[in-house]
Amino acid sequence: QEHLSLANFEYKDARNYLSFLYSKNLKRTSVSRKISTLRSFYEYWMVQDESVINPFIQLVHPKKEQYLPHFFYEEEMEALFKTVEQDLKKGLRDRVILELLYATGIRVSELVNIKEQDLDMNLPGVKVLGKGGKERFIPFGEFCKQSIEHYLETFRPKKSTEHDYLLVNMNGAPITERGVRYVLNDVVKRTAGVTDIHPHKLRHTFATHMLNQGADLRTVQSLLGHVNLSTTGRYTHVTNEQLKKVYLNAHPRAKKEN
């Protein structure tokens, strides 16, 4: 490689340097960070010396790598629910945590702040306070409703009457985000075939399953509390099972007539 002083660095040299970074098989985020650092350095130098030209100013930033959100398949979710049911001590509470996260796609920060008066068991659904203090209502189904009702009738009253937060720890205090993560990790350890879990993975799962079953993007955007539709668009990937289902229903020669 030819050694150049920073003062003699030109636009073509900046492009060559960018090509060199790509040849090292670096991640796009690493390349972008290096280019940003050099661009900022030259901007600072230009303030000190007006004769300096920033060779990186016109260099196009490499696009960030787009990662598909990880999600659970339906059979994996069923396995998680079966594991929770086997815990006689705290299974009722843990099932409500799992049901609400999967049935509504809410964030863990929204989950731990749910109070009993936020529930509407007639519709049924729950009111949550999202990012930016924006309130939204998310419906949920019968499985979730029954789990909450059973929990409120049996587990919840025994733990605390000093506050009205829905979810509590074993001491009766409102459960924390860390507490929810601990619960989920404990469930995974006892579930065969499931290796990792975090609250946001359940949010990804909710969105993926909704879209795969025909929900429109705008509705899912509203349920998730996303400001931009492009954020929700990350979930429009489809599973192999869904691809096969669509193919079999749509292609004229997909199914053999009897």
Q: Give the catalytic positions in this structure.
A: 107, 131, 200, 203, 226, 235
Residue located via tokens 């189904």:
141
Helix axes 217-224, 199-212, angle to 10 degrees: 160
Q: Hey, what long-range contacts does 122-131 have (CB within 8 A, 24 or more apart)?
A: 126/100, 128/104, 128/225, 130/225, 131/107, 131/225
Quote the DSSP letter at residue 114: -
Distance, CA of 128 to CA of 131 (rounded, Å)? 10
With beta carbons less than 8 A apart as the criterion, state whether 130 and 144 touch. no
7 CB contacts (<8 Å, ≥6 apart)?
52
Distance, CA of 57 to CA of 179 (rounded, Å)? 47
